[in-house]
Structure 1
Amino acid sequence: MHTRIDCDVAIIGAGSAGLPAYREVIKAGLKPLLIESGPHGTMCARVGCMPSKLLIAAAEAAAAVRHAPDFGVQVPCQPQVDGVAVMDRVRRERDRFVSFVVDDVQAMPPEHRLDARVEFLRDGVLQSDQGHEIHASRIIIATGTQPVVPELYRPLGELVIVNDDVFDWQDLPRSVLLVGSGVIGVELGLALARLGVRVRVLNRSGSFAHLADPAVRQAAVDVLAPELNLVQDARVTTVRREGQQAWVGWTVGDGPETQESFDRVLLTAGRRPALAALHLERTSMPLDDRGMPEIDPATLQVRGQPVFLAGDVTGRHAIQHEASDDGRLAGRNAAAWPDVQAGARRAPLAIVFSNPQIMQVGGGFGAYDPASMRVGAVDWTRQGRSRVMLRNQGLLHVYMRQADQRFIGAEMIGPDAEHVAHLLAWALQMDMTVPQMLGMPFYHPTIQEGVRTALRDALKGAA
């Protein structure tokens, strides 16, 4: 016999989208039920944003020591990386970040929480693996994503891993093959290489870190490919296990096969919305051929249903602040249903924490009509402050709509890209023109002067 639970809004998933959704439902004075099937702490804190930055910080410390002689500062020997100590700090600090989230969840009223796996029985009714039948007039699905492990790599057993596994390592491996040169592949590949791990990155296309601007993408490849031992347009032809080694072979075009052995194969090439276990087919939700509900991106509502999707599960960019914004919007709309409203969106902003860093502001180069815009550039190899710091690598492109000189976006690899990205994202969100941006103060000598150079370049010859 099932124990019945009634609530106004059931929220499936207590991550970066589910928690803000819960708070919005509480604010509206309704009764929520926050359902989580796995460990609390959010993907960002547990296996994403924060632990990856801890690993990157260790790698940058090692790289700084190696870089010191370029300034005339001699060090007695090359840095000795203690993999056990590196991973111990990663896990300790990761657990600290996770504990803050767990404490917040545990402070919630017990009747607002359910730690269980659930699936749909029918519209508005969920069943848990602990014998609960949950009746909710509105439902928010914030279950995130799960990594894709192609059958090709199954013979490797535990030697094939996903990024979720990296941060529980007790020590650094000697060698890792990373499959995919997206954000995760670039960030973790560089970090491991700079910590002394032999790294190889394979990518099946010519893409790199989601950059759309061909010139900026090529600049990024030129700067970072040597450390990543990057192979683009690679077709994996051999996967086998010999003892504790994974052997992988690949070809490029009509070339011969290359084979190498690795301690681990880290798959970073894809994640999919975690929806299958919910059995959405038991409901009247409209589903596409992948089992994805049809949602209105402006309101996050499943068409015609009191159901909302929020966060990575929507299939949009897997970015923490966007997931949180989704959660707040879904929570407000679920509470107000059927009076749902479109939510205001922030300027698109994405950052890759490589070194040099990569960023994208706006819709990306491919979202604009080249005939209607002007591109302004700064070559960081020639920029003053960058040369002072010996960080003079990369390229910045800013995009200006020619008709009204409005700033519409940018892509970059180069020094302090995370700070440049925020500066430009704020300008984009405020709908500024390039002349207005050039009217703002630029201190000398700073990296931000490079932004001024690019903006001036965009205006050259403009009508």
Structure 2
Amino acid sequence: MTDRTCDVVIIGAGTAGLKAYKAATARGADTVIVERGPGGSTCTRVGCMPSKLLIAAARTAHQARHADTFGVRTGTVEIDVPAMWARVRRERDRFVASVLEDYHAIPDAHRLHGVARFDGADAVTVNGIRIVARGGIVIATGSTPIIPDSLDAVRDRVHTNETIFELDHLPRRMAVLGAGPLGLELAQAFARLGVKVSVFDPGETIGGLSDPQANDAAIRALGQEVDLHLGVEAEATPVEGGARLSWNGGAVEVDLILAATGRKPLLGDLDLDSTGLERDDHGTPLFEETTRRCGNSNIFIAGDANAWRPVLHEAARGGRIAGDVAAGGAAARKLPALAIAFTEPNLVQVGTDFGDLPDDARIGSAKVCDNGRATADGHDEGVVRLYADRDGTLIGATIVAPEGEHLGHLVALAIDRGTDAATFADQPWYHPTIEELLQSAARDLAGIED
């Protein structure tokens, strides 16, 4: 077997892997990146970008149908389905191409195509070549959708986010299994495009919202557009031309099923047993947040492969951290968590989750229906919930609101700066804006009367 030595090995050329490569090489490290597939990120191929393109089309149709609320007559709204899908895929492919440009710009000597397997804790084998890493090895292999075994009988009708964007039509009726952010985003988008959508989840919450008031607001808002079946286990059986979903209390026949039941790290081919790493019950290596280092080893893990905050900005930052530290850099600082579901209203969680709040936490609230800009724009569902510690310093938020994505970034910045609720309220909040919801919630939290 041929041996090769370098400073850093990166396994995977998605978002985390490419950022890790750039960070390591920026420190002058001799770096090799290994990719088993075509390269490119989950976000651009089958995640963030195609879903947002579909959501944009759906939003346009929804706004046109409801224009008469504002005295605007638009006539019949028709969906040119081939044209819609063509735009989704055309723009998706453009995003993918931009990522692949970075991948193919890596010199051939530093870019290997093949399956990497660990050979101990400091080396991998690729295509019969044993590569020893002096500095570290970064696992950035991504994740894959989970399809429940309960769908085996109707597997020909099942799609995931990795196949749904290749449709050439719109189904008449569809079921979405999983009321997490991905399931809700696509459920609402298809509903706005004229599809009858039923969402099933064994839990009682949607979008991962543990705050009861926020969860109730989200259910009220999204329940107006899709049929939500919470707290149920649906059984799928084949019928002519589709599938039947049955549960205690009803049944529905659908043309297709979208399995949005989560993703799992792609680690199976790595031979992790040879590394001696400590792993969790699912086989994922344990790691430290500020370095992405696995235990005391020189192995790092970043992106969806570590099953921690599986969103693009965390994958990108995690890749940069892992690549930098593997090449001799210092640990990074911790940042507040930020997660956004791009439904309308947006579902946003920042910092400390409601379920993890200390017993002496303080909470402030503001209702969307009390915000002048929101009601002017025709929105009346949602709530902003700000969380602070006993001294009033902001530590988290759950937001169900139009344009909530922007509110979430402001709260994340405030938490990172150690801002207290009274100071946060005493900012130049322009009127009338959605952002005033944050001021109202902060004033409520701080006990400041309007």
Q: What's the TM-score, normalizing by structure 2?
A: 0.95
1:451 matched to 2:442? The reply is no
Match for residue 234 of structure 1? Answer: 232
How big is the shift at 1:93?
0.2
Summarize deviations over 1:261-297 as a string: whole Å, max 9, x none.
2221111111111111112112322334432223223
The answer (yes or no) to whether the contact 2:289–2:334 under 8 Å persists in 1 is no
How far apart, in 2, do the equivalents of 1:273 and 1:134 lie? 23
2:354 to 342, 357, 365: 365
How big is the shift at 1:136?
2.4
Amino acid at match of 1:64: Q
The answer (yes or no) to whether the contact 1:392–1:415 under 8 Å persists in 2 is no
How far apart, in 2, do the equivalents of 1:438 and 1:414 lie? 18
Amino acid at match of 2:265: P
How far apart, in 1, do the equivalents of 2:25 and 2:168 lie? 40
Amino acid at match of 1:447: I
1:314 matched to 2:313? The reply is no
How big is the shift at 1:54?
0.3
Match for residue 245 of structure 2? Answer: 248
Match for residue 398 of structure 1? Answer: 386
Bigger shift: residues 159-168 or 279-288: 279-288
Summarize deviations over 1:131-157 as a string: whole Å, max 9, x none.
433332321001111111121112223
SS state at 1:287 partner: coil
How big is the shift at 1:341?
4.1
Amino acid at match of 1:376: G
How big is the shift at 1:243?
4.2
How big is the shift at 1:368?
1.1
Q: How does 1:143-154 map to 2 (within 5 A)?
A: 143-154=141-152
Summarize deviations over 1:275-324 as a string: whole Å, max 9, x none.
11112112322334432223223322111211001111112111111111
Amino acid at match of 1:231: H
- Structure 1 pair 5–263 and aligned structure 2 pair: CA distance change class (3 A): farther
- Structure 1 pair 461–292 and aligned structure 2 pair: CA distance change class (3 A): same
Match for residue 58 of structure 1? Answer: 57
Q: How does 1:76-87 map to 2 (within 5 A)?
A: 76-77=75-76, 79-87=77-85
Identity over the aligned pairs, expressed in percent?
Answer: 37
How far apart, in 1, do the equivalents of 2:289 and 2:434 lie? 36
Amino acid at match of 2:307: G
The answer (yes or no) to whether the contact 2:158–2:256 under 8 Å persists in 1 is yes
Task: Give the alignment's Cα RMSD to 1 decimal.
Answer: 1.7
Amino acid at match of 2:367: D
SS state at 1:146 partner: strand
SS state at 2:225 partner: helix
- Structure 1 pair 391–461 and aligned structure 2 pair: CA distance change class (3 A): closer
SS state at 1:17 partner: helix
Q: What's the TM-score, normalizing by structure 1?
A: 0.93
1:351 matched to 2:340? The reply is yes
Q: How does 1:176-215 map to 2 (within 5 A)?
A: 176-215=174-213
The answer (yes or no) to whether the contact 2:425–2:440 under 8 Å persists in 1 is no
The answer (yes or no) to whether the contact 1:87–1:172 under 8 Å persists in 2 is no
How far apart, in 2, do the equivalents of 1:437 and 1:287 lie? 41
The answer (yes or no) to whether the contact 1:87–1:170 under 8 Å persists in 2 is yes
> Unmatched 5+ residue regions in structure 2?
none
The answer (yes or no) to whether the contact 1:159–1:244 under 8 Å persists in 2 is no
SS state at 1:278 partner: coil
- Structure 1 pair 277–243 and aligned structure 2 pair: CA distance change class (3 A): farther
Bigger shift: residues 167-176 or 88-97: 167-176
Amino acid at match of 2:237: R
The answer (yes or no) to whether the contact 1:33–1:113 under 8 Å persists in 2 is yes
The answer (yes or no) to whether the contact 1:187–1:353 under 8 Å persists in 2 is yes
How far apart, in 1, do the equivalents of 2:106 and 2:432 lie? 50
Match for residue 365 of structure 2? Answer: 377
Bigger shift: residues 182-191 or 426-435: 426-435
How big is the shift at 1:456?
1.1
Summarize deviations over 1:165-214 as a string: whole Å, max 9, x none.
11222222222211000000110000010001121100011121011211
Match for residue 6 of structure 1? Answer: 5
- Structure 1 pair 400–119 and aligned structure 2 pair: CA distance change class (3 A): same
1:422 matched to 2:401? The reply is no
> Unmatched 5+ residue regions in structure 1?
none
| Deviation beyond 6 Å, 4+ runs, structure 1 | none
How far apart, in 2, do the equivalents of 1:220 and 1:231 lie? 14
1:271 to 254, 263, 283: 263
How far apart, in 2, do the equivalents of 1:246 and 1:306 lie? 49
- Structure 1 pair 461–420 and aligned structure 2 pair: CA distance change class (3 A): closer
Q: How does 1:309-348 map to 2 (within 5 A)?
A: 309-336=301-328, 341-348=330-337
1:123 matched to 2:121? The reply is yes
1:408 matched to 2:400? The reply is no
Figure out how many residues of one structure are paired with residues of the other and give that number. Answer: 448
SS state at 1:227 partner: coil
